Each structure stands twice: as structure tokens, then as C-alpha cells.
Amino acid sequence: MPERFQNVFLTQWEELLRLRRAVLKTSDLDDIHDLRVSSRRFRAVLGLLGNLSPPESAAKLKKRAGKLTRVLGGLRNIDEALLCFRPRVPADSSAAHHLFTILAEMRTAELRRIDKALAEFDPGRFHRVVRELASGLRTGFTPDGNSRSLPAFFSDVSITLFQPINNLRAVSSAPEQRESRHALRIAIKKLRYFLEIVAQVLNCDYGQELGLLKEYQSILGRMNDVVEFGILCRDLELPPSERQFVETVLAAEDELLLSRFMELVGQKPLVYTFRM
């Protein structure tokens, strides 16, 4: 079991490095978005490893991976905004001409930021930390430095991660509870990444639970996108007609997503599950 945990951690690290190399080489958009997801998964497994290496070193690695996630997020928001707005422009219409021009310019700037951030993320600086973390996962020790078994440790973590979901699921479907839905999205994302790790380490099938969490995360993530698109467009110099177009599209999308979310909550409520 500790060996499987080691393999999960090292596999996540190698995948992060592979995608970093691919993006630096070709700037392929799919690779960029995959790298963002990979950086989040790596931070999730890193967070479980606790203090098996010098705290300042592990914290620095996690901080740098987090910076990478944030930098990649800017391009992702622009691309998703374009995917949201383009199909809604009437045929033979220039309703979003200025919007698309500005977003295209912003994409170019974001690509330059990504290249710079990837060049600054030097893997060689962190190889020693990664090796120490991996070697620390030995029989009889868990990521928090105590002598509990890994299953017992994972069980405690699962309870902790589900608690905010339990607190938020009842109130989050109220239309005015945007902040609750935002918090629920983050809590679900953390639990999903955790269960992906646990499934590999404990050799347990969590496919059904992960599928449901993905459904919730997809809708809640899209609702968060609507908020991000509004923020993205808020300060752009757009003609009144284009600003009205943006507001109309986002309001309709938000209403539709809220309806889908309320339906999901009613039909497939989230329940706590942990098994070995």
C-alpha cells in the first residue's frame, strides 16, 4: 500500500513534467488545459503527504504548483468565454465583434505569461524534495507523521473533506446562495481529487462516487464560469449593444444552470462514502 502511494505521487509528478515539456515545445491548447488539471491533481496528492520532507521545502513546491495553476487559469477562462459567447451570436451579426477582438488579444498575452511561468518552474530545484517525500512513504508511517495505517488516515481525511459538503448541500440550491455554491464547488473538487488518489492506493473502485461528484463539479464549475466571464468582461471597453449581449447571455446561462443544479440535488443527493 505505501508503495502504491509512492507510485501515485511519482506518477503525478512525472505527468506534470511531461505536460510542461509538451506545452513549452508546442503550446498546444489541449496540453495547456491538461497541464492545469495535472497541477491541481499534483497539489492534491502533495497535500496528503504532510510533513515527510522539510516543511519549508514541501510548502514551496506546493506554492509554485499553485502559481502554475493560477497562471494557466487565465487562458482557460478566455477560451471558455469564447466557447460560451460565439455560438450565441446571431448569424451574419457583429453583436460581439469588439468582444472577440479584445479576448483574442488577451489570449496572446496569456500565452506569453504561460511561457514565462513554465520557464521559471524549474523541476531540477524540486527533485530532492520529491524524492524525500516519496521515500518517506514507508510501512508504519502515514503522511501526518503518525503511526496510524494509511486506511485509517484516509478515513479521517474523508470525513474532514465531506463535512463542508454536508454543511452546504442543503442551502446551496437557494437562488441567492451564490457564495455557498462557490464553496460547495471547491469542497467537491477537493473530495473528488482525494477519492481519485484513494482509489489507486487502496485498490478500490470509486467509479460511481467519482461520476456523481463530476456531475456536480461540472454544473457548479459552469456556474462559476458565468461569474468569471462577467468579471472578465466587466472592465472591457465594449459598445452598449455588446455589453447588453454579454449580460443577456450570462443571465440566461445562469438561470439554466441553477435549474439543472436544483434538479441534480433533488434526484442525486450527495452522501458520505468511504470504503476499502
Calculate the average pLDDT of the chain.
Answer: 87
Cell 472592465 sits on residue: 235
CATH number reported for the structural domain that contains residue 81 in this entry: 1.40.20.10
Whether residue 135 sits in one domain with residue 2? yes
pLDDT for res 41: 93
pLDDT for res 21: 93
Whether residue 52 sits in one domain with residue 186? no
pLDDT for res 266: 92
What pLDDT digit, counting tens, does each position of 197-236 carry? 999 999 899 999 999 999 999 999 999 999 999 999 988 9
Whether residue 275 sits in one domain with residue 178? yes
What pLDDT digit, counting tens, does each position of 168-192 carry? 988 998 889 999 999 999 999 999 9
Whether residue 126 sits in one domain with residue 20? yes
Residue spans of alpha helices (H) in 204-239: 207-234
Domain end call among 83, 109, 140: 140
Q: How far apart are CA 192 and CA 187, in angstroms?
A: 9
Q: Which three cell numbers stand for residue 159?
A: 470525513
Whether residue 104 sits in one domain with residue 54? yes
Whether residue 129 sits in one domain with residue 155? no
Whether residue 127 sits in one domain with residue 4? yes
Q: Is 211 exposed, middle or buried (0-12, 13-18, 19+ CB in 10 A)?
A: exposed
pLDDT for res 206: 93
Q: How far apart are CA 84 and CA 76, in angstroms?
A: 12
Q: Which residues contact 221 (CB under 8 A, 6 or more apart)?
A: 185
Whether residue 115 sits in one domain with residue 70? yes
Domain end call among 108, 140, 172: 140
Cell 496510524 sits on residue: 148
DSSP 203: T
Quote the number of domains for the chain: 2
pLDDT for res 140: 45
Q: Could you report the average pLDDT of every consecutive run of 10 residues in the chain (276 residues)?
A: 86 94 88 92 85 61 87 90 89 78 92 89 83 69 58 90 93 91 96 94 93 96 94 90 93 95 94 87
Q: What share of the chain is helix, strand, coil (3-state, %, to 5)?
A: 80, 0, 20
Whether residue 115 sits in one domain with residue 238? no
pTM of the model as a whole:
0.87
Q: How far apart are CA 65 and CA 46, in angstroms?
A: 10
Nearest alpha carbon to residue 177 among 186, 165, 169 = 169
Q: How far apart are CA 190 and CA 99, in angstroms?
A: 34
Domain end call among 140, 172, 198: 140
Q: Which domain holds residue 92?
A: 1-140
Q: How far apart are CA 68 and CA 24, in angstroms?
A: 13
Angle at 156 between CA 161 and CA 5, to 5 degrees: 90
Whether residue 258 sits in one domain with residue 274? yes
Whether residue 156 sits in one domain with residue 135? no
Whether residue 66 sits in one domain with residue 25? yes
pLDDT for res 55: 57
